[in-house]
Amino acid sequence: MLDREIVDVLEIPGIGSSSATYALDLFKVVSHKDSEKLKEAKDLTYKKGFEEGIMIIGEFKGMPVKQAKVEVKKLLIKTGDADV
C-alpha cells in the first residue's frame, strides 16, 4: 500500500478544505459499495467546489476555482502543455 499525504487545494465556504470527508459524513457513506450515496457526495463537492471554492495553494491561491480553471487552461496552452 502506498503512503500518501492528502493535500487540500481549495476551500469551500461552509464546508472547509476537507470537502470529501464532509460529504462522506453528510451522506453517511460507509463503503465503496454505497454507489448512490457516493454519487451524491461527489456531485455536491464538485458543484460547490467549482461554484464557490477558493484556491488555497499554488500560483492561483486566493482565486475562485471558476476563474482559476480558466487561468490554468490559458497557462497550459501558453506553455505548450495543452492545445485547444
pLDDT (0 to 100) of residue 5? 84
- Cβ atoms of 82 and 73 closer than 8 Å: yes
Question: What is the grid cell recorded at 2?
Answer: 502506498
Q: Would you give per-residue pLDDT tens digits along the chain (84 residues)?
A: 567 788 899 999 999 999 989 999 999 999 999 999 999 999 999 999 999 999 999 999 999 999 999 999 999 999 999 998
pLDDT (0 to 100) of residue 28? 95
pLDDT (0 to 100) of residue 65? 97
pLDDT (0 to 100) of residue 84? 85
CA distances from 72 to 23, 39, 55, 78, 82 (A): 26, 26, 12, 10, 10
For residue 42, the SS3 value is helix
pLDDT (0 to 100) of residue 1? 55
- Cβ atoms of 65 and 12 closer than 8 Å: no
CA distances from 24 to 18, 31, 45, 50, 84 (A): 10, 10, 10, 18, 35
